[in-house]
Structure 1
Amino acid sequence: MGMKLEKNLNKIIIFTLCILMFILYIFPFILILINSFKGRLEVVANPLSLPEKFDFGNFIEAFNTMNYGSAVINSLIVTVLSVSVIILFSSMLAYYLVRYDSKIGKLIFMTLVASMIIPFQSVMIPFVTVFGNLGLLNSRGMLIYFYLGFGISMATFMFHGFIKSIPVELEEAAIVDGANHFQVFFKVVLPMLKPTTATIAILDVLWIWNDFLLPSLVLVNDNVRTLPLSTFYFFGKYTANYSVAMAALVLVLIPVLVFYFIMQKKIIAGVVDGAIK
């Protein structure tokens, strides 16, 4: 009886802690949502209260001011192409490093792994200075190239571990059947990398779509700005329109939430499968 009581008590404590953690996590999002319907003065006067009346004008103003349609297209182009090239090049590199073992290959792999511990902030100033002097900034193509450089290390590391578990006999059988090395990779190896590919795609989509720092350094012109950069329109040097900014943040969150709800099962399955491998 005492064991059962203790077990039930533990369940209640864990459930209570989970509820508290959920409230702490969801509170900032609720705060953004309720303040997005308020006027500017109402947000400053009492940000924790419910709005006196729900005003959708903030969303219309935010949509027009941040050029929402163009920003969404820019974010989609940058995110889709960046994730695609990261997956393609990192999977090919990992396959080469695993199957064609050499001292140079080991050096390349160790260099990639070591680069993962270098924070972007430590190379940020030289990065902007060098590429700015070369006139290579303010381009979506260069931003995609930079994401490839910063994202290939982790992706290669994850693919490397998975490819080592794939039997070489499958590839040898394909070669006996007349397949060349590219056909072996794209028709035999790459389809078997789906769990890791899903994990990398999900993590990189969330990283690139929500990234502010790197695009803020690379993209200057308004017509190439991504969604996170567009929210900066509402914060001036001396003033800030918090109510419209909150509405803009809600608009920015909508595509991420839609992506998460559509990919929810694949996100969980991909992360679990990738962790096991």
Structure 2
Amino acid sequence: MIARQRSKKIGLIVLGIFLSLFWFYPFYLVIVNSFKTKSEIFANTLGLPTEGTLENYTEAFIALDFVKSFFNSLFITVSSIFLICIVTSMAAYALSRRQGKTSSAIYFLFAICMLIPFQSIMIPLVPIFGSFDMLNRAGLIIMYLGLGSSLAVFLYFGALRGIPMALDEAAIMDGCNRFQIYWHIILPMLKSTTVTVIVLNAIWFWNDYLLPSLVINKQGMYTIPLKMFYFFGEYSKQWHLALAALVIAIIPIILVYMFLQKYIIKGISEGAVK
């Protein structure tokens, strides 16, 4: 019995190591090849660089116009996430505290909207926003607010079901109005769910290429994924610069994930189970 448990444990460890190596393999290729010249990448893609160079990062930093494109990506990501957290947490709070057919129908409508892919609505959506002159950063932020609200409401609503209404009643007796209850009592208790919403949407918004490519049409407003497209021309592809730029682009979002990862599983379980 003990030998069987040991063999099972060893098998799980070996499987975990194999899956970890399989998952880290693309990151290995990106990081290693970002230090190679273009000719060395094609000559020896899997091996370590013979003469590591940082020139790729310098050229990629300049080609990306990194400071401006970083600010554009940061502004769009932070603004969209801020609006999503505030609007959806208030909506979920109102839906969770009003028991009835109308609130249930609205909640299920949000849940169903998670199943609608953006690709199915992007053709009419972009011309509609264009007709109101709401493209570029403002239009992109509003689109992200609409597209990211369904999952956020679903998570917040599930977490709010675990918060007893007795807290609301006690606060009302102390003289608080509904907004004060939400802002000072409910929202701080949704910390784990809020962090989960932030991380999930930050990864999406920061790395998104399709929607910004349809909405942004001014040079000074390009995000990092849009600027990276210029490394791939019609007749040549600058893989050495593209890989270096990719490493530069993913560092901020990896740091955000590392600092906030302990809240993610807790927030998802609170939003989906309770």
Please give the TM-score of this superposition, normalised by the length of structure 2: 0.93
Distance in 2, matches of 1:260 and 1:152, equals: 21
Q: Does 1:224 align with 2:236?
A: no
Residue 116 of structure 1: how far off its partner (Å): 1.0
**Cα distance, 1:106 vs. partner?**
2.5
Separation of aligned partners in 2, 1:274 and 1:102: 20
1:273 deviates by 4.5
Counterpart of 2:176, as a letter, is A
| 2:178 corresponding residue in structure 1 | 181
C-alpha contact (below 8 Å) 2:193/2:267 kept by paired residues: yes
Q: Cα offset for 1:222?
A: 2.6
Residue 158 (structure 2) aligns with: 161
- Change in Cα spacing, 1:166 to 1:264, as seen in structure 2 (3 Å) is closer
**2:121 — aligned with what?**
123
Matched letter for residue 217 of structure 2: V
TM-score by length of 1: 0.92
Aligned equivalent of 2:148: 151
Q: How does 1:31-180 map to 2 (within 5 A)?
A: 31-138=29-136, 140-180=137-177
CA distance in 1, matches of 2:255, 2:159: 29
1:269 shift after superposition: 4.2
- Please say if residues 199 and 274 of structure 1, whose CA atoms lie closer than 8 Å, have aligned partners that are also in contact: no
2:105 and 2:266 map into 1 onto residues whose CA distance is: 32
Aligned partners of 2:36 and 2:53 also within 8 Å: yes
Alignment deviations for residues 80-139 of structure 1 (CA, whole Å, 9 cap, x no partner): 11111101111111111122234332322222111111111111222223323443222x
Please point out which of 216, 236, 245 is paired with 1:239: 236
What is the deviation of 1:156? 0.8
Give the secondary-structure state (helix, strand or coil) at the position aligned to 1:263: helix
How far residue 71 of structure 1 moved from its aligned partner, in angstroms, is: 1.5
Percent identical: 43
| SS at 2:121 equivalent | helix
The one-letter code matched in structure 2 to 1:228 is P
C-alpha contact 1:82 1:147 (8 A) present in aligned 2: yes
- Computed over aligned residues only, the root mean square deviation of the Cα atoms, in angstroms, reads 1.7
Equivalent residue for 1:204, pick from 201, 204, 217: 201
Contact 2:202–2:253 (8 Å) recurs in 1: no
Distance in 2, matches of 1:271 and 1:108, equals 21
CA separation of 1:246 and 1:120: change in aligned 2, threshold 3 A: same
TM-fit CA distance, 1:274: 4.3
Q: Does structure 2 conserve the Cα–Cα contact (< 8 Å) formed by 1:82 and 1:148?
A: yes
Displacement of 1:161 in angstroms is: 1.6
Q: Specify the code of the residue in structure 1 equivalent to 2:45.
A: P
Q: Secondary structure at the match of 2:217?
A: coil
**Which runs of 5 or more residues in structure 1 are unaligned?**
none
Q: Partners in 2 of 1:62 and 1:213 — Cα distance?
A: 21
Match of 1:4 in 2: 2
Gaps of at least 5 residues in structure 2 are: none
- Amino acid paired to 2:95: L
Q: Is the 8 A contact 2:156 2:271 kept in 1?
A: no
The 3 A distance-change label for structure 1 pair 154 and 248 is same
Q: Deviations over 1:225-260 (max 9, x none)?
A: 222222112011221100111110110111122222
Once the 2 structures are TM-superposed, how far is the Cα of residue 155 of structure 1 from its aligned partner? 0.8
